[in-house]
Amino acid sequence: MLETPASRRPTPLGVAALLVLALVVAAAAFFAGLTVGRGGSGIGEAQPSATVRESLAPISTGTPGPTPILETVTCAAPSEAFAVLCETYAQIQGDYVDEISDEDLVDGAVRGMIEYGLEDPYSGYLPPSQYEEALEDLSGEFSGIGAEVGMENTDDPDDLGACTVVTQTCVMVVVAPLAGSPAEAAGLRAGDHILEIDGTSTLGESVSSLVYEVRGAAGTDVTLTVQRDDDVTDVTITRAVIDLREVESELLDGGIGYLRLTTFTDRAPQLFQEALGGLLDQGASDIVLDLRANPGGYIHAARSIASQFVPAGELLFTVEHEGSVDRYVSEEGGLAQADAIRLVVLVDAGSASASEIVAAALQESGRGTLVGQPTFGKNTVQIWNDLPNGGGLRLTTDRWFTPSHDSVSGGGVVPDVLVEAPDDPTTDADPQLDRAIEILTGG
């Protein structure tokens, strides 16, 4: 998630600006995407019946008259193109066989406008109950399975704009299971494709709605049909209350400080600074920063954490739809800005959005060496806007670029040293961390 300057947009909760990847399957998120956590059902639209019935009334062959409801319904169209929306509303209110509320019609219209009108899998709409839960998720505690999910175009990875709903080539993908989560314990891995949720196909649904199919109360089970390479298997996961641990730290042998950052929440910068300071006080002379499986978060958190290491200069810049540019520079007073403190950064395919901002800034400034696998590749910024019905609109408003004007979209950030991860996620072996230590110790 990336937060934008208050001078440009209202501050939360009216607007929460995020570098989101998808809805996390547990919900800390709306970080690098969508988190699946506690909450509503996310029911999709019903499919039309294949059966065609004869009408019980004669079919009129004459020219139809004006819809009577138009005489009592007022609909202000912002442009001529919206006249069809007003006409459709009028005909539904005048002729539809069952009663339906304006609230339901508006909810469906807004959802359709976002999911089908925009070629953007990261923009979305949440009705009031789900939006309230999403804001609660940002506190760092939620219930669910604990995995960040997003959309992947298996036919053309660079064309995510074609993937607003799940199809045969646009799949719901696990970006990363959260550390210590039920999803991680059950063996979900970055890159897994979710084909079914409790036996129901994900085809035709948006990731925003599917997230709420996975969510549910702690202690309940959800079964995901997962494809990994050519293998398809069912994984049953028991949902739980998840308290995010944004930062983990440890002093390794040889005076190497190890810092793992799992998400870029609002409280992460302070927690990170305290952990970094603690390691330096213990005598750490070099640092390994682990951003693997970190789906992202707030832009201000990314800037603050990168500033702990980068002494001066630009960290990133964003470009809005009308072309205006905002530049984010390093803040003064970082605890490890001296070149004498060497830095290695671990990344993988689960490192997304805010993680990619930090990784790219450290790499391009020459402040750190990147080790691992290419990152996810998400360079867009979303904001959350409150809507009059209590719901929320997540809208892509900016694209961000690295200091050297590169976009991470598609290929992600490529490490300086490529090291594959073990095929077995349960193994204690960590060749990427081992390589980072070798670099710092001169091995």
With respect to residue 9, please indicate whether it lies within any of the assigned structural domains: no
305 with 433, same domain: the answer is yes
Least confident range from 272-276, 305-309, 406-410: namely: 406-410
Decide if 357 contacts 301 (C-beta within 8 A).
no
What distance in Å separates the CA atoms of residue 200 and residue 193, rounded to the nearest whole number? 14
436 with 367, same domain: the answer is yes
Q: Which residues contact 380 (CB under 8 A, 6 or more apart)?
A: 19, 120, 122, 396, 398, 399, 400, 409
pLDDT value for 443: 64
147 with 221, same domain: the answer is yes
With respect to residue 86, please indicate whether it lies within any of the assigned structural domains: no
248 with 188, same domain: the answer is no
Q: What is the pLDDT of residues 287-331, one digit of tens each?
A: 999 999 898 989 999 999 999 999 999 999 999 988 899 999 999
In three-state secondary structure terms, 342 is: strand
Res 48 pLDDT > 90:
no
For the entire predicted model, the pTM comes to 0.71
Give the domain range for residue 237: 15-43+124-242
Q: What is the pLDDT of residues 164-222, one digit of tens each?
A: 889 999 999 998 788 788 999 999 988 899 999 999 999 998 887 788 789 888 999 99
pLDDT category of residue 34 using cuts at 50, 70 and 90: very low
More confident residue, 251 or 122: 251
With respect to residue 273, please indicate whether it lies within any of the assigned structural domains: yes
With respect to residue 52, please indicate whether it lies within any of the assigned structural domains: no
In three-state secondary structure terms, 261 is: strand
For the segment 367-371, the average pLDDT, to the nearest whole number, is: 97
203 with 251, same domain: the answer is no
Write down the mean pLDDT value for the chain. 81
Q: Which candidate, 65, 253, 195, 185, places its Cα nearest to that of 425? A: 185
With respect to residue 3, please indicate whether it lies within any of the assigned structural domains: no
218 with 238, same domain: the answer is yes
**Highest mean pLDDT (candidates 30-44, 58-72, 95-109, 201-215):** 95-109
Decide if 358 contacts 368 (C-beta within 8 A).
no
pLDDT category of residue 121 using cuts at 50, 70 and 90: confident
With respect to residue 426, please indicate whether it lies within any of the assigned structural domains: yes
pLDDT value for 206: 83
pLDDT value for 323: 84
For the segment 333-339, the average pLDDT, to the nearest whole number, is: 96
* Percent of the chain residues topping a pLDDT of 70: 80
Res 351 pLDDT > 90:
yes
Res 150 pLDDT > 90:
no
347 with 270, same domain: the answer is yes
With respect to residue 97, please indicate whether it lies within any of the assigned structural domains: no
Instruction: Name the domain boundary from 222, 242, 262.
Output: 242
Instruction: Name the domain boundary from 185, 218, 242.
Output: 242
Domain CATH for 265:
3.90.226.10
pLDDT category of residue 334 using cuts at 50, 70 and 90: very high
**Highest mean pLDDT (candidates 11-15, 75-79, 416-420):** 416-420
For the segment 80-105, the average pLDDT, to the nearest whole number, is: 90
331 with 374, same domain: the answer is yes
- Burial letters 399-432, b for 16+ CB under 10 A, else e: bbbbbeeeebbeebbebeeebebeeeeeeeebeb
pLDDT value for 231: 94
Q: Give the alpha-carbon dihedral of 136, 139, 143, 144, to 10 degrees.
A: 90
